[in-house]
Chains A and B, each alone.
Chain A
Amino acid sequence: MLGLTDAMRAAVRRATEAGYLRKTMKHPLTGFDPGDNIGENIPWPSFKFVPGDALEMAYVAKGGGSECFGGTRHRVVAFADGVKGIEKFVIDSFVEATRSGGICPPNILGIGIGGTANVAANLAKEAACLRPIGSRHPEPLFRKIEEDLYEALNSLGIGVMGIGGDTSVLAVHVEYAYTHIAGICVDMSANCMVARRAATRIKADGSTEVLPYLNWFRDTRLSGDPGQEGGAF
């Protein structure tokens, strides 16, 4: 693990020197620019441990507009408000985030439902950035939310860069986690307009293979989750 993290830091440094990454990351209070994108807690890799003898990794370059400029939103929705509360939160968040073209629509949106605040935020970002664009969640309850929101958001007339048009989202991807009974964390995350990403598999023998995308959710979804019986609130 430590070796992997060190390798990532070295890779970020090399990519910055070569001009693949901008020297973007700074000290949050002093503005100090290390010049190599390396600093306290940055880079911030995400790991998942799954069966197998290979390492799969993805790199997604995401701009500050889609990340910090209103592209990431959070709310705790009461069980009493259910799917209506979740959908209203996403629609209102998207309208606010695309005012003046803020998050550079049309967007690939990720929605994280459940877990805790950090879990929902991570799920939303992973859904936006890692899933095949336009793929559907395997469970009908979440697939329906994806389809309803896709149609609803494309009916808002926001359009390319927010100046009007029929296409406001290219895809809506929902991921969920079981949640504490206290309430439902909901997060929205938008991928960057440029949607740059690359994925690779490093096999046990050291050979590599380019992947079309990282199948990030493959090994952690429960098959036939009993929770979907009876429909949503």
Chain B
Amino acid sequence: MAEYHLAAPFREEEIRALSVGDTVYISGKAFTCRSRLHRYIFDEGHPLPGTASGRDLLIHVGPIMLREGEGWKLISFMPTSSIRFEKWGAASVRDWHLRMIIGKTTMGEETMREMADLGCVHVSPQSVSPNSWIDSIRVEGVDYYEELGSIEATWYMALDELGPFVVDIDCSGNNLYAMHEEEVDRKRAEVLEKLGIEQDFQYTKLY
């Protein structure tokens, strides 16, 4: 479980060198989405904006932004659960040439396969309060603001040593959470036994 300091755009080999459980701090250029962007592009036929297509770091986040003069002020920022865009996950990794996705929870099997094939990882925030990162993020611009609104627009951000994140899906098909599930299930059996709840306990079927 090593610690890395990486800058986007990434080289494929530095992404493939990451393993689940590694800690990463991230600098460089990113763009944001929520699943509304995936739907807008893949189902409704709009193009990925040119600025985004030059970036290989996708952050699944709906930030709070306020107008400040000609620019924008970032008020709050916390990545959110990536499984929401699983429906378009593989397509976005492939078509948007992603090397890293910052989000919470996980991606499904189809997306994980594409990530392993093409060299992309998923990382999630650990023990971070939503506002503690504001000074490490510079807002560079926005596309689809009028069309999708401030949360679901595509924001361009420059990151300065943002982290820590833990790698939870690597390029070898490993998923940190899936590896952990078996242990939790074993401990659940112990916990139920301790409370005197039989392993074969069946709820009375009321409906």
Chains A and B form a bound pair:
yes
Interface string of A11-48 (1 = CB under 8 A from B): 00000000101111000000101010000000000000
Which residue of the partner chain, among B65, B187, B203, B204, contacts A156 with CB atoms under 8 Å? B187
The one of A24, A85, A156 in contact with B191, judged by C-beta atoms closer than 8 angstroms, is A156
Report whether B187 and A155 are in contact in the complex, using a CB–CB cutoff of 8 Å. Answer: yes
- Asked if B184 and A77 sit within 8 Å, CB to CB, the answer is no
Most buried by B among A64, A104, A152: A152
One of B3-11, B50-58, B125-133 contacting the partner: B125-133
Report yes or no: A148 in contact with B127, Cβ–Cβ below 8 A. Answer: no
A64 to B34, CA, bound (A): 13
How many A-B pairs have beta carbons closer than 8 Å: the answer is 111
Complex: A101 Cα to B65 Cα, angstroms: 26
Could you tell me if A158 and B184 are in contact, using CB atoms closer than 8 angstroms? yes
> Cβ of B117: which chain A residues have Cβ within 8 Å of it?
none
A162 and B126 CA atoms in complex are apart in Å by: 10
Distance (whole angstroms) from the CB of B32 to the closest CB of chain A:
13
Whether, in the assembled complex, A163 has its beta carbon less than 8 Å from a beta carbon of chain B, the answer is yes
B151 contacts which chain A residues (CB < 8 A)? Answer: 22-24, 33
Q: Is the CB of B66 within 8 A of A19?
A: yes
CB of A152 within 8 A of CB of B80, answer: no
A81 close to B (CB within 8 Å):
yes
Among A87-95, A107-115, A131-139, A214-222, the stretch in contact with B: A87-95
> Which of B104, B180, B184, B192 is within 8 Å of A88, CB to CB?
B192
B46 is an interface residue with CB less than 8 A from chain A: no
B55 to chain A, nearest CB (A): 23
29 example contacts (A-B, Cβ-Cβ < 8 A) are as follows A19-B76, A21-B64, A22-B64, A22-B151, A23-B150, A80-B204, A81-B203, A81-B204, A84-B201, A85-B204, A87-B195, A88-B192, A91-B191, A91-B192, A91-B195, A100-B168, A100-B177, A101-B104, A101-B124, A102-B105, A155-B191, A156-B187, A156-B191, A158-B184, A163-B21, A163-B168, A163-B176, A183-B206, A194-B129
Given contacts A156-B191, A163-B126, 10 further A-B contacts (CB under 8 A): A19-B73, A23-B149, A92-B188, A100-B83, A101-B124, A101-B177, A152-B195, A155-B187, A163-B21, A163-B176
